[in-house]
Structure 1
């Protein structure tokens, strides 16, 4: 897997000028209802968004890696107007009525597809019609950037590949941060829907959920980011935390795009339903 990239293609993209290095975010998105509920998670995303344009430069582009776009091969959304996808069921109509009309950036997507390489040096695929912005993306971006005035590209994940392949691909994204690109991983460090307890409070979680969350949090706090890709070596603990691990993979994309000792801050370090870790972090 290639871990460096040729940034020459970026020089041809008008929207991506060299800037101060952008931070990287990993956001535990949890229930889709967090997008519209008045709770601590949505308020934290709103507060974080308010820091852009004041403490932090506004992004020129957002690259989001969501747990909810799994593909064969890796793909980038490359349409001018990505649709808002409501990829869930059983929720109030208000949630289905939500729209996030951010533009895409086809030129930037084409440049990224040439720079970032899959295994065997294949370029990333370009999706011009099928996908858009799923709820892993818009549910966190809408509270952060409610004006939807920053273009958004989603990067899919090939679930057939081992975690180390995702982490290696993510390392190629680092240079984008110097071109005004805000990289956002959206998933959950613990995600077991089958074990959810609807009435559980934020400070309540299963022992196995706490252990896995604290183990990963320890790696993150120590800057031992390489260890994250080996989470499956925790065996039954990892399997309880992630019966399927698509919600963990976005963390590898965020971690791969930062330096091992880069300053990092946790927030939302509690749980939804006892089995969904909302732990989130910002680097840089």
Structure 2
């Protein structure tokens, strides 16, 4: 690490370090299957579970989100004072395009993460819907600073899992980590009927995933689950799972927040660590 990097890291640590009388609580790490953008405005068992979870969470100093909708070649951190709300979809009701999640960005923690994880920085990226469609339920007051880490599509599963060790350091500094993707994500197989029956392949994948969470982490890292390529024709919605798992300490429990399906093939399974 050269002098410039050392000074930047030192400044970030100074800005984010706890005073002796106010040591930050280690924050939870969450994986949230975000599904359709319609979940940001609909009232259903899934969105009610997120609202309930939000009412129980301690308020963090900041939130770091790893969203499937910011996928890059190389790892990038957003360093933005006032991120814009991005409506990165089309063909949905007008109400969705009026949503503005106007939380502040978080500069010091973003710079700290950039140094720790050796990433590039982006000074323009706003909140994509993988961020705000989740936070409107968990933190509806928009009163916690938020920043993002992109999903590096050039790296293997093992790298993403190992990234969790760096994210664990941020959790100790009072920063909540949220991975936003989906346990299954094959848009070509979606049935847009709200009461669509669950597809057999999706159920088998979700069952195997749930078992591997507690019994076989290596299977998750190696993408060694039944119907994996069908469940994830592209893997940007799966990869946010791995750093969340990798941030778990040995003494921390993993608990299911929600399990269920939408539109026949979308597993909306969510879990919490810590």
Q: Same fold by TM (over 0.5)?
A: yes
Whether the 8 Å CA contact 2:12–2:111 is kept in 1: the answer is: no
Q: Deviations over 1:126-155 (max 9, x none)?
A: 1101x1110001000011111111000110
* Local SS of the residue matching 2:25: coil
Say if 2:202 is the partner of 1:209: yes
| Offset at residue 271 of structure 1 (A) | 0.8
Q: Which residue of 2 aligns with 1:126?
A: 121
Whether the 8 Å CA contact 2:38–2:96 is kept in 1: the answer is: yes
Q: Deviations over 1:29-53 (max 9, x none)?
A: 101000011111221111111112x
Whether the 8 Å CA contact 1:19–1:178 is kept in 2: the answer is: yes
Whether the 8 Å CA contact 1:225–1:260 is kept in 2: the answer is: no
Rounded Cα–Cα distance in structure 2 between residues aligned with 1:208 and 1:133 = 32
Say if 2:29 is the partner of 1:28: no
Structure 1: stretches of 5+ with no match in the other structure:
1-5, 117-122
1:250 to 240, 261, 274: 240
Q: Which residue of 1 aligns with 2:113?
A: 112
- Give the 5 Å matches for 1:56-95: 57-95=58-96
Say if 2:54 is the partner of 1:49: yes
Whether the 8 Å CA contact 1:187–1:247 is kept in 2: the answer is: yes
| Offset at residue 15 of structure 1 (A) | 7.3
| Offset at residue 262 of structure 1 (A) | 2.4
- Which is further off, 57-66 or 15-24? 15-24
Aligned length: 264
Q: Which residue of 2 aligns with 1:119?
A: none
| Offset at residue 97 of structure 1 (A) | 0.6
Q: Deviations over 1:64-105 (max 9, x none)?
A: 001100112111110100110111111001001101001011
Whether the 8 Å CA contact 1:68–1:134 is kept in 2: the answer is: yes
Rounded Cα–Cα distance in structure 2 between residues aligned with 1:45 and 1:200 = 19
1:173 to 145, 167, 176: 167
Whether the 8 Å CA contact 2:16–2:173 is kept in 1: the answer is: no
Rounded Cα–Cα distance in structure 2 between residues aligned with 1:85 and 1:271 = 26
| Offset at residue 14 of structure 1 (A) | 4.1
- List, as ranges, runs of 4+ consecutive aligned residues in structure 1 with deviation greater than 3 Å: 6-10, 14-18
Whether the 8 Å CA contact 1:69–1:156 is kept in 2: the answer is: yes
C-alpha spacing 1:78/1:63, structure 2 compared with 1 (3 Å): same
Say if 2:142 is the partner of 1:141: no
| Offset at residue 183 of structure 1 (A) | 0.4
Q: Which residue of 1 aligns with 2:3?
A: none
* Local SS of the residue matching 2:121: strand
Q: Which residue of 1 aligns with 2:182?
A: 188
Whether the 8 Å CA contact 1:81–1:102 is kept in 2: the answer is: yes
1:281 to 265, 271, 274: 271
Structure 2: stretches of 5+ with no match in the other structure:
1-5
Q: Which residue of 1 aligns with 2:24?
A: 19
Rounded Cα–Cα distance in structure 1 between residues aligned with 2:180 and 2:17 = 24
Q: Which residue of 2 aligns with 1:240?
A: 230
Whether the 8 Å CA contact 1:191–1:247 is kept in 2: the answer is: yes
